[in-house]
Amino acid sequence: MDQSDEGFFASLPATRGAAGGLIRSVSGDVLLVRRVYDPDHPWGVPGGIMEAEESPLAACRREIVEELGVTPRVRAALVVDWVPPSPPRTAAYQWVFRADVPHTDFRLQPEELSGWEWVGPERLFDHLPEGTARRMLAAVEADDRGGGPVYLENGHAVLPGPS
């Protein structure tokens, strides 16, 4: 790599990444976790920010193990959502994977989570910020169809869906 390549790559925008799991009950409800560190938006999805040089899939697995104390079986990528910058936050790619857990005897990380709940897909907007709720509803719909991934921008589908 010569000096001009280094300058070019250094000039590219930085984009964050996060990955979460769509974990569903046998009746189709969605697992949400209650976060202790965000009182304005206490409910969220099991998952979190990707670490340096970590893939979205590895981040999803790591976060579920850290937060819930169980090792998930990740089955499919359901959603990739590009979220625009909102200073001081840079743009981000949010990944949602379909994940199964072996049981619900969770060992929550107390510095991050205070509880969990099964929530029907029709109630996601009652619990989650609007963009996250749109993303998770798209993940539920993709899961119900048996496929993915679906590409979103800020929680909105921008490409034609499956026929």
- Nearest alpha-carbon partner for 42 in 108, 102, 114: 114
Q: Write out pLDDT tens, residues 45-55.
A: 999 999 999 99
2-28 average pLDDT score: 87
Query: Order of strands across the sheet with 156-157?
Result: 47-49, 16-22, 92-100, 73-83, 150-153, 156-157
How do residues 32-41 score in pLDDT, each as one tens digit?
999 999 889 9
Q: How far is CA 94 from the centre of its chain?
A: 6
For residue 162, pLDDT beyond 70: no
pLDDT the model gives residue 11:
84
Total residues belonging to the chain:
163
Secondary structure letter of residue 135 according to DSSP: H
DSSP 29: -
Residue type present at position 51: E
What's the longest Cα–Cα distance across the chain? 57
Ranges of each domain in the chain:
15-154
CATH superfamily of 15-154: Nucleoside Triphosphate Pyrophosphohydrolase (3.90.79.10)
pLDDT (tens digit, 9 = 90+) per residue, 63-122? Answer: 999 999 999 999 999 999 999 998 888 999 999 999 999 999 999 999 999 999 999 999
pTM strictly above 0.95:
no
Structure tokens at 65: 């193990």
Banded model confidence at residue 2, pLDDT cuts 50, 70, 90? low
Q: Which of 148, 106, 112 is nearest to 135 (CA)?
A: 148
**HSE (side-chain half, CA atoms, 13 Å) at 110:** 0
